[in-house]
Amino acid sequence: QSALTQPASVSGSPGQSITISCTGTSSDVGKYNFVSWYQKFPGKAPKLIIYEDIKRPSGVSDRFIGSKSGHTASLTIFGLQAEDETDYYCCSFAGIGTFVFGTGTKVTVL
């Protein structure tokens, strides 16, 4: 069970769009439509922003869009804002009760 692969860092200017990739295998990302994404600020608990590949919980900004193709899931942040600067993690279901997280991506707003 290896961690999902994310870019270490992604950056963009305010108002731009950025995309974070999350690459897994045929045993996790490629097998189930169960990728979730979490926003993580230092010293805080992770916050769910996308679940089941593309769904967004109520209260989460519609600037966050999830997608997936094959073994790679993606999180796109449209209209980047200073408040979006933090760490993001993907997570895939890998069988009943089991999960694997991504390596994490630091988003910087230039």
Partner 1 sequence: QLQLQESGPGLVKPSETLSLTCSVSAGSISSNNLYWAWIRQPPGKALEWIGSIFFSGNTYYNPSLKSRLTISVDTSKNHFSLNLTSVTAADTAVYFCARVRGSIPVTPNWFDTWGQGTLVTVSS
Q: Which residues bind partner 1 (CB under 8 A)?
A: 1, 3, 32, 34, 36, 38, 40, 44-48, 51-52, 57, 89, 91, 93, 95-104
**In the complex with partner 1, which residue's Cβ is closer, 15 or 57?**
57
91, 40 Cβ separation under 8 angstroms: no
Q: How far apart are CA 94 and CA 105, in angstroms?
A: 21
Q: What is the DSSP string of 83-94?
A: GG-SEEEEEEE-
- Residue 83 has phi, psi (to 5 degrees) of -70, -10
**In the complex with partner 1, which residue's Cβ is closer, 17 or 108?**
108
In whole angstroms, the minimum distance from the beta carbon of 29 to partner 1 comes to 12
In whole angstroms, the minimum distance from the beta carbon of 11 to partner 1 comes to 19
In whole angstroms, the minimum distance from the beta carbon of 39 to partner 1 comes to 12
**In the complex with partner 1, which residue's Cβ is closer, 9 or 99?**
99
Q: How far apart are CA 24 and CA 15, in angstroms?
A: 29
